[in-house]
A = this chain, B = another copy of it.
Amino acid sequence: MMKTLSTYLSPQELAKNFSAFHAVDLVKLLDQYATEELLLFCQQLSLEQLAIIIEQSDLALQLRIVQQLSTEKLLKVFTYMSKDDIADMLGELPIALRKSLLKKMKENDRVILTELLGYPIDSAGGLMTTEYIALNENLCVQQALSKIKEIAPQTEIITIIYLLNNQKQLVGTVNLRDLFTHQEEKLLKDFKNPNVLKVYPEEDQEQVSLLVSKYDLLAIPVVNHRDLLLGIITVDDIIDVIIDEQTEDLLGLAGVDKEERLKAPLIDSVKKRLPWLIINLATAFLASFTIGLFEGTIEKVVALASVMSIVAGMGGNAGTQTLSLMVRSIALGEVSFKEDWRLIMKEFSLGFINGAITGLITAIIIYWHYHNVFLGLIILLAMIGNLVIAGVFGFTIPLLLKKMHIDPALASSIFLTTMTDVGGFFIFLGLAQLFLNYLV
């Protein structure tokens, strides 16, 4: 559909049919426009339509669009945008342009935006918007409804109304539907929900997303340490956070930068993937040198060379199972760092059992192939040993990294591979060297 559109509709025609399409899709078309086509398109749009387009654009397109607009027009467009989106955009503009825009804004807007700009982009403060409905809890239903009619067009979430006491502290919420079911003269504070989940602006976005998903919230308020309401974070931004954090974890485990895209230029991909491969190369050399220690033994029993790869490989597989489960549990906030240390015994036993079973299968096949019962016994012991190593380190490495405030998803696997490779080769070849007389 999109292809057809760009082929048949001129920028002006597209602008005229603005409302027939979703902004998300329009923006993809604009990306392909030359600058003058973009200008033609923007000239046809109303201020509100421009705001919608800017909100949906990525940074590069935002900058191109902003350059088409006069400062005055841009400020007018801002009145249709939510403060968090304006702040995000301002944060990326050249400093001079940002300052000149802020200077020309209304005092009130400038204060809010400067504050929003002060929080890190991955904190609650960076995510929050200031478009919400907050009312004094001493209002009655009728007063509340008439206030809401005034404020509604400027808010993001209309369903939840935040209640403030006379000191402007957040003391509860009422749901819009409650206003419809209570009598007009009833005070808001008489049917408020006083248990409001709230976060401080410095809270990490991942923690915020855990709260919102756990408690099925449509929005969560952000307060300062005196309980003054600073803003709210809406569920659509939370979904973006969840997807981003998930992408980071899944790609991080494989040593891929979360910013990399399949369609990125070749040279970018080389720059992003090569460092991880080089770190892994160091690990591979460690394993290789471990094998090198036993070259004398391998020379005498060359079968060891083909069997040893099984031990190291299986350790890697079992360790990755534990590691992935840990990384996911940590991300979902399911791991407490006290009692869970006891779980290490479970991973130990699991490694032992799985090692014994897969080791036995391997031992039988190896015996059947090489007719040497000691080679079978050695591989059984080595498999048990390496799968125990895999379980214990797959469990402890992410936990330790988390304690050191390093993202477990980004660094765990390299340490784990080192342990299971070096450990696997060392145990297996070490045992082989010990029992060399029985193998030759």
- What residues make up the interface of A, taking CB atoms closer than 8 Å to B? 19-22, 24, 148-149, 152-153, 155, 157-159, 175-177, 180-181, 195, 197, 212-218, 235-236, 238-240, 242-243, 246-247, 249-251, 253-256, 260-263, 266, 269-270, 273-274, 276-278, 280-281, 283-285, 287-289, 291-292, 295, 298-299, 302-310, 312-314, 317-318, 320-321, 323-329, 332, 334-335, 340, 343, 346, 349-350, 353-354, 357-358, 361-362, 365, 417, 421, 425
| Contact A321–B255 (Cβ < 8 Å) | yes
Q: A217-B236, A238-B239, A302-B305 are in contact. List 17 more A-B contacts (CB 8 A).
A: A21-B195, A152-B176, A153-B180, A153-B181, A158-B159, A235-B236, A235-B239, A250-B250, A254-B325, A256-B324, A256-B325, A262-B326, A263-B343, A270-B354, A274-B354, A277-B318, A299-B302
| Contact B309–A312 (Cβ < 8 Å) | yes
Q: What are 26 contact pairs spanning A and B, CB under 8 A? A: A22-B195, A24-B214, A152-B176, A153-B177, A153-B181, A176-B176, A213-B236, A216-B239, A218-B236, A235-B235, A239-B242, A249-B250, A251-B328, A255-B321, A262-B335, A274-B354, A274-B357, A277-B358, A278-B358, A281-B310, A291-B305, A298-B298, A298-B305, A302-B302, A302-B305, A305-B308
| Contact A340–B262 (Cβ < 8 Å) | yes
| Contact B340–A195 (Cβ < 8 Å) | no
Closest to A342 in B: B263
Closest to A295 in B: B302
| Contact A317–B239 (Cβ < 8 Å) | no
Which residue in B159, B280, B292, B321 is a CB contact (below 8 Å) of A273? B321
Closest to A335 in B: B262
Most buried by B among A216, A326, A332: A216
- Write the nearest CB–CB distance from A431 to chain B, whole angstroms: 16
- Write the nearest CB–CB distance from A175 to chain B, whole angstroms: 8
* Residue numbers in B under 8 Å from A238 (CB-CB): 239
C-alpha spacing A299/B195, complex, angstroms: 73
Which residue in B149, B295, B314 is a CB contact (below 8 Å) of A305? B295
- Write the nearest CB–CB distance from A104 to chain B, whole angstroms: 28
Which residue in B177, B218, B310 is a CB contact (below 8 Å) of A155? B177
- Write the nearest CB–CB distance from A198 to chain B, whole angstroms: 13
| Contact A277–B340 (Cβ < 8 Å) | no
- Write the nearest CB–CB distance from A330 to chain B, whole angstroms: 10
Closest to A305 in B: B305
* Residue numbers in B under 8 Å from A253 (CB-CB): 250, 253-254, 324
Do A273 and B177 form a contact, CB below 8 Å, given A235-B235, A254-B321?
A: no
Which residue in B254, B256, B262 is a CB contact (below 8 Å) of A334? B262
Which residue in B216, B235, B278, B349 is a CB contact (below 8 Å) of A266? B349
Do A251 and B292 form a contact, CB below 8 Å, given A177-B153, A285-B365?
A: no
Most buried by B among A197, A310, A326, A343: A310
C-alpha spacing A222/B283, complex, angstroms: 52
* Residue numbers in B under 8 Å from A314 (CB-CB): 277, 280-281, 284
* Residue numbers in B under 8 Å from A148 (CB-CB): 180
C-alpha spacing A197/B22, complex, angstroms: 9
- Write the nearest CB–CB distance from A171 to chain B, whole angstroms: 15
* Residue numbers in B under 8 Å from A307 (CB-CB): 288
Which residue in B21, B235, B278, B299 is a CB contact (below 8 Å) of A299? B299
* Residue numbers in B under 8 Å from A214 (CB-CB): 24
Do A273 and B213 form a contact, CB below 8 Å, given A158-B177, A291-B306, A298-B305?
A: no
